[in-house]
Every structure is written in C-alpha cells, then in structure tokens.
Structure 1
C-alpha cells in the first residue's frame, strides 16, 4: 500500500523490527525464514545474543544472518540489535518518561490538535490491521458455541468491560474476569478449547496477565486473542491472534482510542451477523431490565 502521498502519516517510520520482518517474509529464502522465525519466536530477546549464538541456534551461518538483516533494511547486525534495544526501552516508557518528549502544540487549540492526532492514529490502525484478521476474530466472537472470556490491565480493563457489557446484550456465555486473581480459577475451570480469551495489555505490561495467559495456554488451551501495541506484550508468545494497535499520541499519556474503535467495530458486526437472534435477546434483556418492581398489596 502506497502511503507516501501528501498529508499521509509516515507509518513506515514507526514500524518495529517485528513488523518489518513480517512484511518482508514473502521474499525471504528458506534459511532467512529460519532466522526470522527464531527472532519472532522470542521477540525481541531472540536477537539480543551474539550473531554467532544466533547462528548456532538456528543452524544458519553468520554471513546468512548478515544478509538477512540487510534484506530487511538494516546496515548490519549491530544496527538491528540497537533497534531491538530501543524498542525494548520504549515498551517500558512511563508517563514520566513520555513527558520529556511530548509535543502539546498550541494551548489555545489543543482539543482540535488532539482530535487530529487521534484521527491519524485511526488511519494508521485501518492501514495496519488486516481485514482478514478482523474477520477471523469476529467469527470467534460471533460463534454462540464458544464462551468468551475477557480481561485487561490496570487501565485497559475498562475496554474489556466495555466489550463484555455489549457482548452480553448480544449473546450469552460472556465472562469478564474479576480483578482479583484469587477469583480466576472458577472461570478458568469452565474454559474449554473451543472458547475464546481476549486480553488487553499495553506497554508497561502486567505480569499477572502474562502469567494468566501462560497458565491458560498450557492448561485450558482456548483461542487467545491479544489486543496490544506495536512493541508487543509478552502475552504474544501465548496468543493465537495478535492485534497491534497505535497508542502513541505525542503526550505523556498513550491513547486507547484505537482499541475502543476496534472493539466498537467488533460489537457492531457481531450484532449484525445474526440480527434476528440479537433482536430477540435485546428485547428480552430490556423487558427484564425495565420491569417495574411488583407493587405491594395495600392492607
């Protein structure tokens, strides 16, 4: 896709090495694919060892690794590693660190400027998230035979709650895991292989969510969908589907506008795939929700 036109954001400049490798995958040789798979399997740590160690682990020569990093756009293995280290630092950035690089623009027109930035992130999402991936996740959520479990981090759990509230009005078997991990086992025991676990985890990733994903992947084996950012939560290694969304907006605070838009789009399409069933459930839901309390008999 040509994004070089005037007025378009420079998406390529913000790509991670992971995305660069994936976009180059169709042009890689068999040896280069072995290197790419080794790097992506434990990203970014898989390539933070010496070139000799990576060569030994993959069974590919050091010169082949040099050619691989050159093919994907780096001057050499050291530059490739510097990129990975930079991404690792960025993935741990806090509001205090982001404050040092923020660009607030004109204070008199901040709302308009912020809206412009948010719209640019939305365009970036629409260009970077494949429709096929959206459709696959949509099919999982719309399948009434699958139970859906959702959970997010300290901030992103609000998005998980938003998803669960709407899905519960559309279909049954939707569970929002409570914040206390001591209450998780009951729901995890009900989880089956055909079910879906959706996790939200953005930078300064939460260890308890990673532990949950690890346990679920080993013990229950549902389809795990991860909604994260371009630096990738460690949950990625346990996930079947990974949606990497733009969150940088040049302020001390990352934005979840793309996560909310992605979830809203899923909610709309899940409801429409079987509108007759959705309509019946909404009508029944409203009858119960709006049912007035029984009047007390007067003596």
Structure 2
C-alpha cells in the first residue's frame, strides 16, 4: 500500500498538463513585475516597495504626497517613473490606479469586526490568495524545481528566523533527493559549506530570508555567487539587495499582524517547489520514497495510526 506522500507524488503532479482558466495576477505580483526589470537605485527601491505595500492608497497620491510618504524628493519620484518605463508620474499613477481599481472591484472588503487573531488569519488568507494568483502560471516553479532536482548536492540555506523554513524544506527534500545539505549557521561555517557544495558538483542554492533580513544572509549569497552557484531565493521582498544577488526570487507575503511573523504562503511555496522536484524525476522519487518506507517500517519510526 502506498503512503500518502507516494500517492500525492503520483497523483498531484503540477506538470500533468491540466489547464485551468488563467486568473489575473495579484496586484502585488503585477507591481513586482512592473518594477523588477530596471536596475533601481536604493531610493527608487524604497518608492517601489512603498507602492507594493500600499497600492490601494498610494495609487491616488499626488507626487508631493508620495514623495513625503516615502521620504524622497519630488524629482526622485519623477526619475523613478522614468526608470520603470513611464513618461512621467501622471502616466505611472494612471497605471497604478488601474491596478488598484481592478483589485477593489474583485471584492469589496466587508466591515471588519474581527479580533486581532482573526485579523492575522485574514492577512494570511490574503497572502495565500496572492500566491494562488501567482500559481496561475506555474512554469517558473516547474523550471526551478527541475534545476534544484538536478543539483547534486543541493544546498538549502536559512539563517536566524529563516532556519525553520530551511529545515522543513531540507527534511522533505532528503526524501526525494540524494544529497541535500542544510546550512543554518552564518559566517565562515556557511562559507565553508557553500564552497564545499560547489566543489562537490552542486549548481544551486535554495535560500530563505524572512524579516528581519540578516547581513550574514546577504554575505552568504554573495559568497555563493562568487563560487559559481546559482541562487533561488524565497523571501518577502521582490526588490532589494538580497533579490539583487538571486538568480530567481519567489516573493511571498508574510503575516505581520502579531508580535512574531507567520509564514503560511512561504510554506506553501516550499511545498510547491518540492512537488516540482518530485515531478522532475518521478522514477527517482518513487524509488527513494519506497526505500524510505521500508526503512521506516523496519525501525518503527512512526506510530500506527
């Protein structure tokens, strides 16, 4: 009898060819795509991040109001509009308003009578809805999953608050990949691990960086790049110095309504990449899962439910 993991590996392949109606990307995803191409200065990235995080209000601000909110000059806003492909701020604002209005038309918010815990859940539901819209086109996830699957060894990096996400991904990936190396300490320990991974034939690192973003994570990504490793990054920001060092960035919202952040969308992103890795080499996946189940039964790893 196959385990639930084996059954899902066989039945839920995202490369199965099933076609669903394509939904419009989430407003945050549309904005990230709009701002992701140009090389923006630090000040321009601040403007972009403010617009991403506050699109419903920011789309209707004057150039003076936007400059004041972000803490930059009005000419900086004008230069930003030009950098992202618009003739000036009025043209950019018109585009922002169309994105904001379509989002509002998609569902008017009901009067908020929730308590703080419910509000935190609502925020995570919104993050998951945004991720669902991003998954309307799964090609990028499928492609990166295939590349991670082929990297032997595969290094998974997560420092400080991001350790838990990295540990989850590495734990699951070891079931389907022959050599997964987990790095949860920064500094020279991380450098040694990254360099050794490259020398052993590894080609990719999957890195996690959640707020607050650590300097040592940025340094580790730069070490990985200098060593010749490609970097896939799961984080909450599509823009900024960490994303600048990554070859591929998956930006997922984090729940920030409570004292400590929650990572529902980031965990689903992990599961999606793991699914893509299983799809990339189904024979290896099945063989490894069967072998693991035999070992688990032999040594009685798990309770009989």
- Given the two structures, how large is their TM-score scaled by the length of structure 1? 0.64
Once the two structures are superposed, residues 107-154 of structure 1 have per-residue CA deviations (whole angstroms, 9 ceiling, x without a partner) of: 4x945x6544433221111223542221221111222x5421111232
Deviation at 1:65, TM superposition (A): 8.3
Once the two structures are superposed, residues 245-275 of structure 1 have per-residue CA deviations (whole angstroms, 9 ceiling, x without a partner) of: 1224544443310010111122233224433
Which residue of the partner structure matches residue 226 of structure 1? 233
- Alpha carbons 1:40, 1:46 under 8 Å: kept: no
Q: 1:239 to 1:110 in 2, by over 3 A?
A: closer
- Alpha carbons 1:149, 1:198 under 8 Å: kept: yes
Q: 1:284 to 1:233 in 2, by over 3 A?
A: farther
Q: Are 1:73 and 2:93 an aligned pair?
A: yes
Once the two structures are superposed, residues 165-224 of structure 1 have per-residue CA deviations (whole angstroms, 9 ceiling, x without a partner) of: 111111112110132533224322223386111111123211000011112212x12110
Which residue of the partner structure matches residue 208 of structure 2? 200
- Alpha carbons 2:191, 2:220 under 8 Å: kept: no
- Alpha carbons 2:237, 2:252 under 8 Å: kept: yes
Partners of 1:181 and 1:237 in 2: CA distance: 20
Which residue of the partner structure matches residue 211 of structure 1? 219
Aligned pairs for 1:2-151 (under 5 A) are: 11-12=26-27, 18-22=32-36, 37-39=38-40, 44=45, 51=75, 67-73=87-93, 105-107=113-115, 110=117, 114-128=120-134, 130-143=137-150, 145-151=151-157
Deviation at 1:51, TM superposition (A): 4.6
Partners of 1:131 and 1:116 in 2: CA distance: 25
Aligned pairs, number: 239
Partners of 2:195 and 2:162 in 1: CA distance: 24
- Alpha carbons 1:203, 1:231 under 8 Å: kept: no
Which residue of the partner structure matches residue 277 of structure 1? 284
- Given the two structures, how large is their TM-score scaled by the length of structure 2? 0.63
- Of the two structures, which has the highest relative contact order with CA contacts closer than 8 Å and spacing of 6 or more? 2
- Alpha carbons 2:158, 2:208 under 8 Å: kept: yes
Which residue of the partner structure matches residue 105 of structure 2? none
Partners of 2:215 and 2:258 in 1: CA distance: 25
Q: 1:217 to 1:166 in 2, by over 3 A?
A: same
Deviation at 1:42, TM superposition (A): 8.5
Which residue of the partner structure matches residue 264 of structure 1? 271
CA RMSD of aligned residues (A): 4.2
- Alpha carbons 2:40, 2:83 under 8 Å: kept: no
- Alpha carbons 1:164, 1:176 under 8 Å: kept: yes
Q: Secondary structure at the residue paired with 1:198?
A: strand
Partners of 1:138 and 1:159 in 2: CA distance: 17
